[in-house]
Amino acid sequence: MKIPLCKPSIDEKELNLIKKSIKTGWLTHGPENVKFESNFNKLINSKYSISMNSCTSALECAIKCLEKKGEIIVPSFTWVSSANAIINTGCKPVFVDIDPITRNIDSKRIEKLISKSTIAIMVVHFAGLPCEMNKILKICKKYKLHLIEDSAETLGASFRGRYTGSFGIGCFSFFPTKNITTTEGGMLTLSNKKMYNKAKKLIAHGITKSKKDAWKRIALLPGHNYRLPNHLAALGNSQLKKLQKFNKKRLNLANKYTQHFLKFSNLILVPKVPKNFTHVFQMYTIRVLKGLRNNFVYYLNNKGISASVHFDPPLHQQKIYSKYRRGNLKSTNILSKQIATLPIYPDMKKKEIEYIIKTVSKWYRKNK
């Protein structure tokens, strides 16, 4: 049996929606984008949303909307896009350690890294679980810092009833591995109208149309082409309607994993969901102890199960980012050598999850 790490859930109806959208002649930003953005606002209770070609583009726009350069505190335990967006906008990442239980930014370690050059904190909600936002919001308020949420992995997740992406400037991903997909795609969410207007210009070459002469394009700032095509927004609208169903299926699968793996706690630690948090399990990650993580992943891969690792090495251990490290990132170092990701996706079949559980159980009996 071959089981992928993830698989997007796109049905025939959605393929027809894309075809229908293309036939309208709207091949770039169009009416489906407007609809997608409006529906997204309603979902997470945001004032403004802008559909884009990726979460990475959203992160860059978020930073550019701050209209200042300096240091941005960000976890090292994240995908390269988080740091790349900071560096590519002329700012400097300052890596902070994580909580090994939640895999999210350790709020207790943030203040020690704040300097006169700090302009923002970028939280990265990991694998479907939000960060502990109350403490982070207090820090931002105390030091007058902006808050950027890399919410690529947490669409539909909430902390104390409030959705990720609504606490600060939100950045979402619709890559095929995420909770919904537009193939490539992302969303920027904001509450500030000035930032929203700037971001709208940034994603479309930094131009505006002349009110008098329709053919004139006035360049107001050096922008980008970060737009999401209309037909992909049509797919996004359909996927958004299914988000609750998709996330419920992910939760059910995660509960099955956890139920079986709890008894393996001397070798495998399952993810925990703290009180007042909702987890949408964009990934199901476990900690494999006693230096056996690589052995575990190779074993599953050899059995046809596409288990993987997110993230090893962490950013501060990679040569191009190492100069941005400050202090000891002990928990990040430990977790990166223990973390393993198991397949999870809404269309996973009963026989597939049973095979994975059976295979993990066999590995455990060999290594306990």
pLDDT digits (tens, 9 = 90+) for 12-58: 999 999 999 999 999 999 999 999 999 999 999 999 999 999 999 99
First to last CA, the chain: 25
Q: Which residues are 204's β-sheet partners?
A: 225
What are the strands of the beta sheet with 268-269, ordered from one edge? 268-269, 284-288, 339-342
The pLDDT mean for the chain works out to 97
Q: Residue 319 corresponds to which amino acid?
A: K
Overall CATH class of domain 12-241: alpha beta
pLDDT in tens, 175-202: 999 999 999 999 999 999 999 999 999 9
Contacts of 159 (CB under 8 A, 6+ apart): 130, 131, 132, 133, 134, 167, 276, 277, 278
Q: What is the pLDDT of residue 208?
A: 84
Q: What is the pLDDT of residue 342?
A: 98
Residue 222 has, within 13 A of its CA and on its CB side, a CA count of 1
Domains of the chain, by residue range, sit at 12-241, 243-367
Q: What is the pLDDT of residue 218?
A: 84
The model's confidence at residue 217, banded by pLDDT at 50, 70 and 90, is: confident
pLDDT above 80 (res 95): yes
pLDDT in tens, 111-154: 999 999 999 999 999 999 999 999 999 999 999 999 999 999 99
Handedness of CA 8, 9, 10, 12 (dihedral sign): positive
Q: Which residues are 225's β-sheet partners?
A: 204
pLDDT above 90 (res 321): yes
* Strand ranges inside the chain, DSSP E: 48-52, 71-75, 92-96, 118-124, 146-150, 158-159, 162-163, 169-173, 186-190, 207-209, 217-219, 268-269, 284-288, 339-342
C-alpha distances (whole Å) from 213 to each of 29, 134, 205, 216 are 21, 49, 19, 6
Contact in structure between 183 and 238 (CB atoms under 8 Å): no
d(CA 20, CA 130): 36
The model's confidence at residue 360, banded by pLDDT at 50, 70 and 90, is: very high
Q: Is 136 helix (H, G, I), strand (E, B) or coil?
A: helix
pLDDT above 90 (res 211): no
Q: What's the average model confidence in pLDDT over 59-74?
A: 98
pLDDT above 80 (res 213): no
Q: Which residues are 138's β-sheet partners?
A: none
The model's confidence at residue 313, banded by pLDDT at 50, 70 and 90, is: very high
d(CA 296, CA 291): 10
DSSP code at position 228: P
The model's confidence at residue 209, banded by pLDDT at 50, 70 and 90, is: confident
Residues in the chain: 368
Q: What's the average model confidence in pLDDT over 324-343?
A: 96
Q: Which fold has domain 243-367?
A: Aspartate Aminotransferase, domain 1 (3.90.1150)
The model's confidence at residue 212, banded by pLDDT at 50, 70 and 90, is: confident
How would you class 81 by CB atoms within 10 Å of its CB: exposed for 0-12, middle for 13-18, buried for 19 or more? buried
